[in-house]
Amino acid sequence: MDERISEHAEVLVEWSARIESGDDVVVSVGEGAHDLAVAVADALGERGANVVTTYASEEVQRAYLLAHDGDFELPEHELALYEAADSVLFLGAPRNTTATADIPSETKQAYGRAMVELREARMETDWVSTVHPTRALAQQAGMSYEEYTDFVYDAILRDWEELADEMAKMKEALDAGSEVRIVKEHTDLTMSIEGRTAVNSAASVAYDSHNLPSGEVFTAPVETSVEGEVFFDVPMTLEGARVENVHLTFEDGEVVDFSADAGEDELASILETDEGARYLGELGIGMNRGIDRFTNSILFDEKMGDTIHLAVGRAYDACLPEGEEGNQSAVHKDMITDMSEDSRIEIDGEVIQRNGTFRWEDGF
């Protein structure tokens, strides 16, 4: 077995999920995640954790949803499992990233509504979501399987302690600052972050960070404060559609004008979801330099070093002052822009990153 699989399992169990002896752990095993599941079982056994492995198959799910009459009910036995669990480790590994493409969206939505309590129970555990490389993910990224596998482990097998320390500098600057300005081609955007708290997303539940890989610092802009224009030059998939070169114009926080070279209809449909969908919910700064290219997967793309992403829609509670709701919406859609050249991020007028180099780095 590729020894990086064991290293991945160690990072997941030790750094990310902080598993201890006696923890009741659910391991959700994707269709192609067998080898990682074996390595994770080894790491969990070594720590004396108690393990249930579930089978998270898109094809099984599809068959179930298509056969069902749509009147779903909450599975009490599944709820009991997650309510009693300390941690859930999601080992994503699709063998076909479009395996559920022919499930009617009403069916997915009806199922999603019936499972709210289940999702909440899972989110109350120390959960971590990660990915085991599969040929389907390689294909989605436009890469060979070998190349993609290297890419995944470069992103995951970081010195997370060191990266967490570096990201702490960014969090400190954001927490101390009042206004962020982002400048690059077709982009000059300002927003207030007054009173908001940045999250050091260091791929560990100890940092309120639930993705492996992670490697971003994010906060929630004050909804009505966003002014100016922004251009997202990283292609992405939104609602199943390819969306390219999105340009947004904000006034008093609201998107008042938008365009895209591809997927403009999908973009329009997202912005029309509800009022909050036209306001920003997140500013994220990608700091994982192990991720060196875009692979059409938000889990990786938004963490890439020298990028920032903005999400229209819902803000994360962790960024908001106690008792404040922040931007509310049914959606949260991230869009990414490359900051590696001819660009800068300013906090209260001071440049914190220029052309992809942070203030604390050599060559700034």
Residues that bind a copy of itself (CB under 8 A): 22, 24, 26, 29, 31, 34, 37-39, 41-46, 48, 50-57, 59-61, 63-69, 71, 73-86
SS3 119: helix
Burial 109-138 (b: 16+ CB within 10 A, else e): ebbeeebeebeebbeebbbbbbbbbbebbb
- The rounded distance, in Å, linking the Cα atoms of 125 and 84 is 9
Of 85 and 137, CB closest to a copy of itself? 85
Closer by beta carbon to a copy of itself, 41 or else 191: 41
Q: At what angle do helices 3-10 and 34-47 cross, to 10 degrees?
A: 50
Least distance (Å) between residue 78 CB and a copy of itself:
5
Tell me the closest approach of the beta carbon of residue 80 to a copy of itself, in angstroms: 4
- Smallest separation (angstroms) from a copy of itself to the CB of 4: 16
The residue (of 12 and 199) whose beta carbon lies closer to a copy of itself is 12
d(CA 176, CA 197): 9
Cβ nearer to a copy of itself, comparing 51 with 241: 51
Short-list 352, 363, 342, 361, CA closest to 188: 342
The CB density around residue 61, as the number of other CB atoms within 10 Å, is 15
Residues in CB range of 38: below 8 A, 6 or more apart? 1
Structure tokens of 204? 């560990």
Distance (Å, rounded) from C-alpha 336 to C-alpha 311? Answer: 9
Distance of CA 244 to the CA centre of its chain: 19
Rounded to a whole number of angstroms, the minimum distance from the CB of residue 225 to a copy of itself is 44
For a copy of itself, give the closer residue by CB, 74 or 330: 74
Query: Of 84 and 123, which has the nearer Cβ to a copy of itself?
Result: 84
In whole angstroms, give the CA distance from residue 301 to residue 304.
5
Strands annotated E in the chain: 24-30, 50-56, 87-92, 126-131, 179-184, 187-192, 199-201, 211-212, 216-219, 227-232, 236-238, 241-243, 246-251, 254-259, 280-286, 307-313, 332-338, 344-347, 350-354, 357-358
Nearer to a copy of itself, 6 or 355 (CB): 6
CB of 205 to a copy of itself, least distance (A): 17
Closest distance between a copy of itself and the C-beta of residue 168, in Å?
A: 33
In the complex, minimum distance from the CB of residue 295 to a copy of itself, in angstroms, rounded to a whole number: 26
Least Å distance, CB 86 to a copy of itself, is 8
Check: CB of residue 207 under 8 Å from CB of residue 200.
yes
Closer residue to a copy of itself in complex, CB, 69/162? 69
DSSP state of 16: I
